[in-house]
Structure formats: structure tokens, C-alpha cells
Structure 1
Amino acid sequence: MATAILEKSGISEAEWEARQQLAACYRVFDMLGWSEMIYNHITLKVPGEDGAFLINPFGLHFSEVKASNLVKIDIDGNKLDDNPYPVNQAGFTQHSVFHRHLSDAHCIMHTHTTAGMAVSSVEGGLRPTNFYACNFIGQLAYHDFEGVTVRSEEGERLIEHLGDKRAMLLRNHGILVMGRTLPEAFIKHWALQRACEIQIATMSMGAPVEISDEVVAVHQRDLSKVSIPGGPGKADFDAMVRLVDRIDKSWRD
């Protein structure tokens, strides 16, 4: 976007960068098969603007999201731009409570993937039966299903059940993750999704072999040794954006 257009729209360079990053993320999710018609949500705080965050326009598929059509709202759900699209009440209710109360919840992702919903719908939830699941054992919160998330009072229970965790399985509902950056939230979602997919595959074959608490602890301790510079998830997310660009670059507009 040209500087003149930025000035005309009143969008700062920092906000435009955030818009492009979030729009790219929606396209990455769609490429990975994590779209759910026009539903589900990824939100991102606007840098330098207390309480303002970006959310997808309700009515558009993830593949249609662009930097320019993201909706900017405040913590109370008021639009802060002239975007003609509405905001999904379920998305606002769920995400706003975390953005309001958790200073480190810069980006929040919620999906209804088949694997995420399936594992969240069985007794015991995620089990320590595979590499990726071990990332989350002891680090994953659970929240019982209360119906579509449109009532503000449910937010209190969401915060209580999340506690000091930053990944949650919403029982009978799906995946919820958050991060200090969008790439960090992305890699959490990717790993939790993979953990759920592999658990489903394993359970279909018979009784799974569960990994001991001692080995899980060693695994979590040593994960940092296989990270690369740039912060959690950055290289992974950048690689996915390059793949998206080979398909369609319209998210940049």
C-alpha cells in the first residue's frame, strides 16, 4: 500500500504491517485446510493502540481476507474504522476477554478443525502418545462446552479455566491458542493440530503407548535446543507465507 493511501485511510505503518501479517495468517490457515465456512477467528492486537485489535470480517471466507478488509474494533466491540462488514459475536466475546485480561495475549486463534474438535470431545482429551502431544502435556487447559460463545459471563470461566496456560481445548468445540506474537500462536496451533491428528490415527490402530511423565519433562526441557533465531514460530510462519504467495498474493492488498 502506498504511503499516500496509508495517510488517507489513517492507518499507521505499524497497523498496516499487523494487517498484512494477520491477513497472511488467514490465507495460511485456509491453505492448510483449517477454514470452517465463514466462521472461526484469528485476532491480533494493533501495535501502539491500547485495547484495539483486528478480526476477520464476518461473511468472508478465510481465502477472501485481505489486509484492507480486516475489521478494527476496541475491547468493547465498537468498530474503529468504516469497514462495512459485521463482526461475529462469538468471535468478539471469546477473544475480547483474553485481550482484555491477558497482556501477553497479542494474538489469539480459534478453530473448529476436525481433529481438534474430535480430541476435545473424548474423555481424557489430549494424551501423551506422540511427539507433538508431549509439547502440551501439563501445558493445556480445558473448558467445558456451554453452547455458542456469545454470553459475556462465560468469559469469566474461560479466564479461570485457562489459568497460566496459553493453549486450551474447548471441550466438544475445538482449539484455542494464544501467543505473544502471531508466529508464536501459529506454531502452537500447528503443533496442537498435528498432535490431535496423530492421536486420532493412533487410536484407530489400537491401544496407544503412552509416554511417561519423566520423558515428557525431558522433551519439554529440550525443545528450546531445536529452535532457530527469530522467535518461536517465525521461520515456520514465514515459510508458510512463501507458499501462500505462490498461490495468491491478494492478501497483501
Structure 2
Amino acid sequence: MSDVRAQVSDEEWRVRVDLAAAYRLVAMFGWDDLVFTHLTARVPGPEKHFLINPYGMMFDEITASSLVKIDAAGNKVMASDYPVNPAGFTIHSCIHGARDDAHCVMHTHSLNGVAVSAQKRGVLPLSQQSLFVLNSLAYHDYEGVALNEAEKPRLVADLGTNNFLMLRNHGLLTCGATPADAFLFMYLFEAACMIQVRAMAGGSELIHVAQPIVDGIQAQAQVVTKGLGGQLAWPGLLRRLDRRNPGYAD
């Protein structure tokens, strides 16, 4: 830890700690897929550098110092014994490049998320959680494992200005100004999918929330979060992590 901490700014170290915490929280909530998904964060500063998971390390093992720093092309700019998932940064790099506000991008292959991504109608307005997602949701059709550079402009165009992206037959993606914001969005996305899968499995007729309520949910979200977004829940999530899986800040 001391070697990496001495090489980076205080601002980068804070992002490293939050991103490492987000990786461990994804594992704690059961959204990880062994080592095969990825969360990224932009490093503060004029250089277009990003942090990503050391490919091969389990999410509940990741620390602030173990995160790999890469450039916009996915090349390592600091020494690391671990490689980078090429498919991971294909998805993330184009979003970071197109969206100045997308400082953190999270992508998961959760079972509930993949299940709903395979449903033709996608996310339905069945729960309060789903309303926050539907207010800023886009879809991107599956094109195989994300290794094709030609897919990038289509992915960016499909996402647009939204913060939630359902990758058809693949999984979920969120972006936010901070790891805290992107994590809160992922929590809501996953909860909406889990509720939908359970509601549909019940076999009864489903009640959809009326469209005027869906349309007005954004203003209500600002009231509920006191304008703080993910920062409202983030300190409590870190305290939970400190109790159950400390060491992410190493």
C-alpha cells in the first residue's frame, strides 16, 4: 500500500478507496460474476487515466492499492502484476470518453439483471425502485463479448444521456459522478430486476404504476435523497463494509 499511496495524489487515493469499496460491496450484495465484470473510475487530473480491477482478483479481495491504472486505450500506466480485462474496458472506455459526467461506470452480470435483460419488454413499472430506473433507462442489443471496437459508437448512442443501460442478454450498467452515485443506481437497478422476476414468478396479474407517476418520480427522488444522491447512503455502506470485510482502503 505504501508504495502506491506515495505515488498518487490525495484526490486519486480517495477515488481508489471508494472504488475498492464499491468492488467489495458488489461482492457483498452478490452481484459479482467471479472475476468477469468490472467497475471503473476516472482519475482526477488532466490525464485521461482510469482505475479498473486487477483481472483475476476476486472482488472481495480488491484494495485501493491493487487497482490498475490505465490510459484511454487500456494500457497500464503504473506497474501491476495483473492484466486488464479487454472486454471490460471496451465497454467502459467509450462511455468515459463520451460522457464528461460519467466519472464512474459499473457493469454487472447479476442473475436477476441478466434475466430481465432477456425479457423483450425489459424493466416494467412494477415497483417504486423501478421508477427511478425507468426515468433514465436505455437499452443496447447484444453483439457478443465486447471485444469489437466497432460496437463502441452504437453503445454510446444507445446510452445517450441516461444513467442506466440494460445490455440485452448480458447484464446491467450504471454511470455516475462518483462511485457512490453509480453504486446507488446499481442497487436500484438490481432491486427493480429482482422484484420483477419474483412478481412475474408469482403467476398473478401484475399492476403497473401509472405513467404520470413514472414521469414525476425524478423530482421526488431529489427530495428523498436530500439532493445528495448516492452520498446519502455511502457512509453507512462503508461502515457496514468496515464491519464485515475491512481492508479495502489498504
Q: CA RMSD in A?
A: 1.4
Compared CA separation, residues 5 and 80, structure 1 to 2 (3 A): closer
Amino acid at match of 1:203: M
**1:111 Cα shift?**
0.1
Matches of 2:124 and 2:245 in 1, distance apart? 37
Aligned match for 1:189, one of 183, 186, 191? 186
1:94-143 CA-to-partner distances (Å, cap 9, x unmatched) read: 10111111111100000000111011100100011111111122421000
Matches of 1:219 and 1:186 in 2, distance apart? 19
Aligned to 1:145: 142
Aligned to 1:22: 19
2:229 aligned counterpart, secondary structure:
coil
Aligned to 1:6: 5
Amino acid at match of 2:40: T
Unaligned runs of 5+ in 1: none
Matches of 2:24 and 2:246 in 1, distance apart? 9
Amino acid at match of 1:39: F
Amino acid at match of 1:95: H
- Tell me, yes or no, if the aligned pair for 1:66 and 1:252 is still in contact at 8 Å: yes
1:165-205 CA-to-partner distances (Å, cap 9, x unmatched) read: 12110001010000011111111100111001101111111
Amino acid at match of 1:216: V
Matches of 1:154 and 1:147 in 2, distance apart? 10
Amino acid at match of 1:241: L
Matches of 1:215 and 1:16 in 2, distance apart? 41
TM-score, structure 1 length as denominator?
0.94
Amino acid at match of 1:61: M
Matches of 1:5 and 1:136 in 2, distance apart? 37
Matched, 1:222 2:217: no
Unaligned runs of 5+ in 2: none
Mapping of residues 34-73 of structure 1, within 5 Å: 34-73=31-70
Matches of 1:177 and 1:186 in 2, distance apart? 8
- Tell me, yes or no, if the aligned pair for 1:111 and 1:174 is still in contact at 8 Å: yes
Aligned to 1:249: 246
Matches of 1:199 and 1:5 in 2, distance apart? 43
Amino acid at match of 1:211: V
Matches of 2:168 and 2:90 in 1, distance apart? 17
Matches of 1:118 and 1:70 in 2, distance apart? 30
Aligned to 1:79: 76
**1:244 Cα shift?**
1.0
Matches of 1:138 and 1:19 in 2, distance apart? 30
**1:5 Cα shift?**
6.5
Mapping of residues 156-235 of structure 1, within 5 Å: 156-205=153-202, 206-228=204-226, 231-235=228-232
Matches of 1:65 and 1:6 in 2, distance apart? 15
Matches of 1:115 and 1:133 in 2, distance apart? 13
1:60 aligned counterpart, secondary structure:
coil
Amino acid at match of 1:78: N
2:172 aligned counterpart, secondary structure:
strand
- Tell me, yes or no, if the aligned pair for 2:135 and 2:215 is still in contact at 8 Å: no
TM-score, structure 2 length as denominator?
0.95
Aligned match for 2:116, one of 116, 119, 123? 119
Matches of 2:133 and 2:10 in 1, distance apart? 36
**1:223 Cα shift?**
1.7
Matches of 1:184 and 1:133 in 2, distance apart? 17
